[in-house]
Structure 1
Amino acid sequence: MRLTVIAPTNDPAVLDVVRDEASGWASPGTAIDVAGAPATAAIASRHDTALAVPDLLAAIAKAADSGSDGVLVSCAGDPAVHEARENVDIPVVGGFQPAALTALSLGERLGFITVLPSVVPMLRALIRAEGLTGRVGTIRTLGTDTLDVHDTAVLTGLIREQALEALHHDEADVIVLACTGFVGAAARVRRELADAGFDVPVVDPTGAAVLWLESLVRLGVRASRTTYHPPPTMTWRA
């Protein structure tokens, strides 16, 4: 199986991190290709999403044409995912949907943790679109304006602080990391929450997405053509 992970970034250093992270989750026998969509440094707003979508769609189409079995868009905002499903005949996922649907099987209320307040409205829109409003207890941010916390200990501490607040206020039964940039944090946060007396799952979006995508490929399924119709060829008449 060959999967392509596309990162909506113009930072070459990020691609190496994305490759290592996705490869670490992939099953034996799954090859991971990585590509960038260089319109933005990262996606943290609707404006960023609008800029990134054309490059993402082009990169997804290229991956499908090259023989990739499936595509992961490495962003918890699922940019270009639904649009691409209309145009390619392989499974396409982002970071939000697999993580959220996995978390639904693990507890009653979901608590999302992301980076910036500007991402929260995007997550709310995704939650509404998936019909999950009644299952989401909170969306919390790290309280930092940086998009790339490279120190794992610092990152873990920030996530743990928000997760503990959610748990102490009885807002969540499952913690969902709503940023694919939270590399390597899920397992460590889960252990630290357990040490604090909260035995709850912490769902990593990249891990959930890679494993979900592998399952779709092995099941031999892709997006339904009664939901995702191929774009029609339109002819305008004077």
Structure 2
Amino acid sequence: MRIKVINPNTTWSMTRTIEAAARASVSSDVEIEAVSPTMGPVSIESHADEALAAVGVMDEVRKGEADGCDGYVLACFGDPGLHAARELASGPVIGIAEGAFHAASFLGRSFAIVTTLGRTLGRARDLVNEYGFTRACVAYRACEVPVLGLDEDPESAYAALRVECERTIADASPDAIVLGCAGMAGMCARLQSELGLPVIDGVAAATSLVEAMVRIGAKTSKREEFAAPPAKEVVGLLSPFTRD
């Protein structure tokens, strides 16, 4: 089995952190291919960043289909390009926000999201509503650490993240914490040990769920909305997506 884990930003040091979390979450016979697109933002912290990143996500799925990948993980908490990726992919595609929410729902009746910057909380709310977890999510919080700060100064970032998690637990009393950034993947186990409640890393959750879907033979439906996009000419940046 081959799972492609796509970090939609172009910071490869973060991709390596994501790769380690993905590898640790699957069986030994699963091949993990962790990549960043060849174009796109170095971090994703806005709607504009997500729109740019979605192009790179589609390109990586296109290449994965040619290489015979069995499934895909979108390793950004905004799940950029998720629906487009499902149109292009034959196997399952799971975003880390979607995967994390489902995983948290298995472990308790409520969860809180603790993410990087407050400006991204609106997107988190949109995804919670879209995926059907509005009643379960009891808090949306940010530690105000930029995405690249997780990589550049991990100890300071961890300290800020832990403080915000502790405040969230005291204020909202969630059953679990969902980490709102793929770059937090390497901090999950330590946080869970120190906080004493389930802490969900979406990279591990989504990757393990993709593995499970592939093992039961599940593929993305091509009957209606996620059928391949209609063939048409595409000019400029997206020209590799032209189909006959």
TM-score (norm 2): 0.87
Given residue 228 of structure 1, which amino acid in structure 2 is its aligned partner?
Answer: F
Structural mapping, 1:24-173, within 5 Å: 24-37=24-37, 38-145=39-146, 147-150=148-151, 151-173=153-175
Cα separation, 2, equivalents of 1:126 and 1:146 = 19
CA contact (8 A) 1:19 1:34 kept: yes
1:181-230, CA deviations, whole angstroms, 9 ceiling, x for partnerless residues?
Answer: 00321111111112xxxxx2111111101101100110111223345233
Cα separation, 2, equivalents of 1:27 and 1:90 = 18
SS in 2 for 1:111: strand
CA contact (8 A) 1:148 1:181 kept: no
Cα separation, 1, equivalents of 2:98 and 2:215 = 18
SS in 2 for 1:139: strand
| Cα drift, residue 114 of structure 1 | 0.6
The alignment's C-alpha RMSD in Å is 1.9
Cα separation, 1, equivalents of 2:59 and 2:8 = 12
Given residue 9 of structure 1, which amino acid in structure 2 is its aligned partner?
Answer: N
SS in 1 for 2:10: coil
Cα separation, 2, equivalents of 1:211 and 1:218 = 11
Given residue 170 of structure 2, which amino acid in structure 1 is its aligned partner?
Answer: H
SS in 2 for 1:26: coil
Q: Within the alignment, does 1:206 sit opposite 2:203 as a pair?
A: yes
1:150-184, CA deviations, whole angstroms, 9 ceiling, x for partnerless residues?
Answer: 34443332222112112112341110011110032
Given residue 224 of structure 1, which amino acid in structure 2 is its aligned partner?
Answer: S
Structural mapping, 1:174-193, within 5 Å: 174-193=176-195
Cα separation, 2, equivalents of 1:7 and 1:126 = 18
Q: Within the alignment, does 1:20 sit opposite 2:20 as a pair?
A: yes
SS in 2 for 1:22: helix
Given residue 198 of structure 2, which amino acid in structure 1 is its aligned partner?
Answer: P
CA contact (8 A) 1:138 1:171 kept: no
Question: How many pairs were matched up?
Answer: 230
Give the corresponding residue for 1:197: none
**After alignment, is 181-190 or 150-159 more displaced?**
150-159
**After alignment, is 39-48 or 2-11 more displaced?**
2-11
Give the corresponding residue for 2:230: 232
Unaligned segments of structure 1, at least 5 residues: 195-199
| Cα drift, residue 34 of structure 1 | 2.0
Cα separation, 1, equivalents of 2:164 and 2:74 = 26
**After alignment, is 216-225 or 121-130 more displaced?**
216-225
| Cα drift, residue 234 of structure 1 | 6.7
SS in 1 for 2:139: strand
Cα separation, 2, equivalents of 1:183 and 1:170 = 23
| Cα drift, residue 9 of structure 1 | 2.1
Q: 1:14 to 1:190 in 2, by over 3 A?
A: closer
| Cα drift, residue 87 of structure 1 | 2.0
Given residue 20 of structure 2, which amino acid in structure 1 is its aligned partner?
Answer: D
Q: Within the alignment, does 1:2 sit opposite 2:7 as a pair?
A: no
